Amino acid sequence: MDGKRRYGKLILKLLAAALFVAAAAAAWFVYVTEYRAVPAAEYVSPDGAWRVNVYMIGEPDFPFGPVKCRMDLLSGRRKVSSAEAEVKNDGAKAGEENFEVLFTDEGAYITVKGDEMDDIHIIMYYDSEVEEQP
């Protein structure tokens, strides 16, 4: 009887370990596909004082869906403002070809482009204001 109890405990421990590994793998999958911020592009102003970093958040929706992107305006290492936009690009990842950034005296003018969408125009002012234009 003692041998059966020992094997029963061993099986329970192995099942618990397998369940833990499966839960960790599921959590990693959700993080990678929905929340992980991957650098997609970086733009620096001509004087080097300002920078726009573009991040792809998660992965494009399966099979041909959009991907969410975040744009951060930075002065040195300080984040001044942030904006989000969806890139509809036939399920492809976002990259430099999906963004145009023009630095002016007022702020950074960002154009977001995709194969399956109208252009989105975002102005990130140096005073931390953000404006989206049609």
**Which CA distances in Å does 75 have to 43, 81, 87?**
12, 10, 25
pLDDT at residue 112, as a whole number:
97
- State the Cα–Cα distance between residues 77 and 35, nearest whole angstrom: 23
Full pLDDT tens readout for the chain, 134 residues: 566 778 888 888 899 999 999 999 999 888 887 888 899 999 999 999 999 999 999 888 888 889 999 999 999 999 999 999 999 988 888 999 999 999 999 999 999 999 999 999 999 999 999 999 87
> Using CA atoms, how far apart are residues 57 and 3, in angstroms rounded to an integer?
52
Q: What is the pLDDT of residue 82?
A: 96
